[in-house]
C-alpha cells in the first residue's frame, strides 16, 4: 500500500502495515497513514524541484550540480510610495525562507525602479561581502534590459561581475507562457519553451519575490493608516498615538475600546477619551 511503500523507501527496508483493531492502535495506524501520504507528497515535490534545477542547468549550459543557490529580486511600491525591495532564495530543496530579506527603499526617489534596484542590490551584496556570507550561483531580477544593465553595473562595481545574472521579463500581453529570461552580459534572450521546467523555476522565483515585496509595502501602508487615523484629534500627538495603539494591540482593538478603557492610558483624561471615541466612530462610518 502507499503508506508501506513510503515508509519502506524512507527507512531502506520493507515495512508491512497490518490493519489495526480499535482504540490507540487504530489511531496510530491512521497517523502513520497520514504521515506516509505527507512523505509521498514531499518526495514528489522534491523530485519536481530537482528536475527544474537540472532543466535550468541544461538551458544555461552548466555542468550538473552547478546551480545550488538562486537569489531573485523585485521592487514593489504603490504609486511610488511605501517602496520595498525583496530578495528570495531557493536551493535544490526549495525556498530558504530564513534567508529572505526585505529592504525599505531609503534613497531612491519614489517610482524610480532602476535606482531602487541599484540600492537593494548594493545593500544586499555589500553586506554579504562584509559578513563573508554565501553568494548565489545565479542572480535573477524581475525586469527587462534596463534593469539588467543596472544590476550588472552594481555587481561589477562590487567586484562580483563573475556572478551569473539574468532578468525575468514579461512577454507579449504579459502572459506567463511568453515570459523570457534575458542573460548578462550581452542581454540575449534564452529560448525557453512555455512548458519548460527551467522556465517554471524562474517564474516561481519571480512570483515569490513579487509576493514578498508586495507584502512589505502593504504592511507599511497599513501601519501608516493605523498611525494617521488619530490625526486631527486635539491632544493626541505621536507619543499618545503609539501608546494607544500599543495598549490595545492596534487599530482594531482601539476601535473596540470604550472611553473608560482609554482613560487607563497615561495622559488620556475623560474629555480626550470621548473625543477619541467620537473621532473613531466618524472615521469608521466613512470607510
| pLDDT tens track for 156-207 | 999 999 999 999 988 766 676 778 899 988 777 887 888 899 999 999 999 9
pTM of the model: 0.66
Segment 58-89, tens digit of pLDDT? 999 999 999 999 999 999 876 556 688 999 99
Radius of gyration of the chain (CA): 26
How far is Cα 118 from Cα 147, in angstroms, rounded to an integer? 9
Most confident of 142-151, 222-231, 247-256: 142-151
**Which is it for the CA torsion 280, 282, 284, 287, positive or negative?**
negative
Residue 224 in this model has a pLDDT that exceeds 60: no
How far is Cα 240 from Cα 235, in angstroms, rounded to an integer? 8
pLDDT reported for residue 1:
63
206 near 142, Cβ under 8 Å? yes
Q: Report the Cα–Cα distance between both ends of the chain, in Å, rounded.
A: 56
Amino acid at each position: 500500500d502507499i503508506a508501506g511503500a513510503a515508509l519502506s523507501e524512507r527507512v531502506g527496508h520493507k515495512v508491512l502495515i497490518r490493519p489495526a483493531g480499535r482504540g490507540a492502535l487504530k489511531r496510530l495506524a491512521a497517523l502513520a497513514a497520514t504521515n506516509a501520504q505527507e512523505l509521498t507528497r514531499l518526495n514528489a515535490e522534491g523530485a519536481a524541484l530537482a528536475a527544474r534545477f537540472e532543466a535550468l542547468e541544461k538551458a544555461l549550459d552548466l555542468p550538473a550540480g552547478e546551480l545550488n543557490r538562486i537569489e531573485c529580486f523585485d521592487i514593489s511600491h504603490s504609486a511610488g510610495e511605501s517602496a520595498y525591495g525583496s530578495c528570495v532564495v531557493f536551493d535544490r530543496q526549495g525556498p530558504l525562507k530564513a534567508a529572505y530579506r526585505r529592504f525599505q527603499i531609503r534613497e531612491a526617489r519614489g517610482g524610480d525602479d532602476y535606482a531602487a534596484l541599484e540600492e537593494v542590490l548594493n545593500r544586499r551584496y555589500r553586506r554579504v561581502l562584509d559578513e563573508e556570507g554565501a553568494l548565489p550561483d545565479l542572480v535573477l531580477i524581475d525586469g527587462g534590459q534596463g534593469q539588467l544593465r543596472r544590476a550588472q553595473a552594481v555587481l561589477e562595481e562590487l567586484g562580483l561581475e563573475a556572478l551569473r545574472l539574468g532578468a525575468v521579463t514579461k512577454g507579449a500581453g504579459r502572459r506567463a507562457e511568453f515570459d523570457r529570461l534575458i542573460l548578462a552580459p550581452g542581454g540575449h534572450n534564452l529560448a525557453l519553451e512555455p512548458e519548460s521546467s527551467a522556465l517554471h523555476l524562474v517564474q516561481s522565483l519571480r512570483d515569490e519575490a513579487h509576493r514578498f515585496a508586495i507584502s512589505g509595502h502593504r504592511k507599511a501602508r497599513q501601519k501608516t493608516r493605523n498611525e494617521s487615523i488619530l490625526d486631527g484629534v486635539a491632544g493626541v500627538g505621536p507619543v499618545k498615538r503609539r501608546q494607544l495603539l500599543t495598549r490595545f494591540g492596534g487599530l482594531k482593538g482601539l476601535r473596540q475600546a470604550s472611553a473608560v478603557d482609554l482613560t487607563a492610558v497615561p495622559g488620556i483624561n475623560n474629555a480626550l477619551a470621548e473625543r477619541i471615541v467620537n473621532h473613531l466612530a466618524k472615521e469608521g462610518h466613512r470607510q
